[in-house]
Amino acid sequence: MSEPSLLSRANLTHQLRQHVDSLRSAGVEWIPNAPAPAGLAMSEGVSAGETESIASAEAMVLTGSLFESAEQPVASPEQRRQELTVLAAQVSKCTRCSELACTRTQTVFGVGRLDPEICFVGEAPGADEDAQGEPFVGAAGQLLNRIITACGMKREEVYICNILKCRPPGNRLPLPNEVANCREYLERQLELIRPKFICAMGACAAQNLLDTKLSIGKMRGQFQQYRGIPVLCTYHPAYLLRSPDKKREVWEDMKKLLQHMGRPVPAGK
C-alpha cells in the first residue's frame, strides 16, 4: 500500500493557513487579488489530481480567500461568544506545558464582555486566581478594580485576561516555551473579544504581546500596535503594591489612554 500523498488538499490548505497566519503576525492585513494559476506543470511523482489541489489551494491564497474580507459574513456576537466558550473549554484541558498542567488547580481564561472599549492583559494567574478561576481577584486585582473605577468604568464593562492561562509554580515568571504554547489561545481570544484598546500591564505582558525586548520603563505611557489595535503599556498592579510611588505614573498613563479613547478624565483622581 502506497503512503498517503503529502500533497493532499487538506495538507496543503493547512500549510497555507499556517503561512497566512505568519503573514498576519507580521502585520500583513491583505494580499492583492489575482486570477487563479492557469495550470501547474506536473513534476515527477505528482499526479494530475494533486496538481489540481495545488492550483486550487494556491488560488485560495492568491485571491485572499484565506483572509477575512468584507465580503464574508461577520460573526455575530452570539457566535463569537459560543466560540469563546469552546476556546475556554479547550484551554481547560490543555497539557502543552507539563509542569503547569500538573501544578495548577484550574486554568484562568479571562472575564468580561465582548467588544469592550478596553482589554487589560496581565502576566499570569496567581494563587488567588488559580483557586477561583478568574483573573485579577487577589490584592493586585483589587488595585486594578480601583484603577478601572478611577477611569470612570466598571470591571464588567472591560475584559481582563493574562498572557498565560495557568499559574506558574511559586508565581515565577512565565518561561518562553510556556508563552509560546499559550500564544495561539491569547491571539484567538483577542480576535473573538475584539477590544478597541488594549492595556498591557507589566513587562511580561507588554514584551510578549508586542514581541519586543524593550523594558517596561521605556514602553510605559506610549502607544504601540497589536494587529491594528492601539496598545498602551503601563506597570502591573502587583508592582504598584511593592512600589506605591509609581501609582502616579500609572494614573498619568491612564489619563493618556482615556484621552486617546475620547473619554473624559474624571476630576479629582
- What is the rounded average pLDDT for all residues in the chain? 83
Average pLDDT over residues 89-99: 98
Strand partners, 111: 160
Cβ(97)–Cβ(156) under 8 Å?
A: no
Q: What is the mean pLDDT of residues 160-177?
A: 97
Distances (CA, A) of 72 to 115, 165, 228: 19, 31, 20
When pLDDT is averaged across residues 206-233 and rounded to a whole number, the result is: 96
pLDDT band at 243 (very low <50, low <70, confident <90, very high): very high
Sorted by sequence, the CB contacts under 8 Å of residue 9 that are 6+ apart come out as 53, 56, 57
| Least-confidence region, from 53-67, 110-124, 189-203, 231-245 | 53-67
Question: What mean pLDDT comes out for the span 230-246?
Answer: 98
Residue of 23 and 52 predicted with greater confidence: 23
Q: Is the pLDDT of residue 59 over 70?
A: no
Q: Kindly state the average pLDDT of the residues 1-30.
A: 49
Q: Cell numbers of 30, please?
A: 491583505
Mean pLDDT of 211-220: 96
Contact 258, 264 (CB under 8 A): yes
Q: Note the pLDDT of residue 17.
A: 57
Q: Is the pLDDT of residue 18 over 90?
A: no
Picking from 174, 150, 146, the residue whose alpha carbon sits closest to that of residue 162 is: 174
Our CA dihedral for 15, 18, 175, 197, rounded to 10 degrees, sits at -170
* Three cell numbers, residue 127: 494563587
Q: Is the pLDDT at 9 greater than 50, yes or no? A: no
> Quick one: three-class SS letters along 76-131?
CHHHHHHHHHHHHHHHHCCCCCHHHHHHCCCCCCCEECCCCCEEEEECCCCHHHHH
- By C-alpha distance, which of 33, 35, 17, 95 is closest to 69? 33
